[in-house]
Amino acid sequence: MILSKLAAASLILAAAGAPGIDAPVVQLSMQQKNAAAQVYVRPVTECIARSIASDPRFRREDPAANLGGLIVDAVPHCLKPVHAMIAAYDRYFGEGTGEEFFMGPYLDILPNIVVKTIRAGAD
């Protein structure tokens, strides 16, 4: 499963370290925090989608084939935006939430979003 393969990527992320994390932003509403964090999510998704689309193993006629492995291989190419996204979540929602978001909800929806992003780029 993609989650187990990305556990190794998580170790890479932790070892590489994230940029300096500011104090949590508590004065914003939850809606404001989510909107601000989305600014950091989009570049990660676009980077991963670009990396997958340019991978010779990616099959446009069957985009779901081998997608988990392609995502795992794409993440190291996108570490800078991944670190920025994790740091933003930590800043907006509290320490540790960035990695939780990345390893949980983000990875859960990533395969579908990547396929949609690649298809939209092909139109």
Task: Walk along the chain (123 residues) in steps of 10 and give the mean pLDDT of each run.
Answer: 52 47 68 94 96 93 90 96 97 95 96 92 65
pTM of the model: 0.77
pLDDT for the residue 22: 53
pLDDT for the residue 60: 85
Distances (CA, A) of 64 to 6, 7, 81: 17, 20, 24
pLDDT for the residue 9: 54
d(CA 37, CA 33): 6
pLDDT for the residue 26: 63
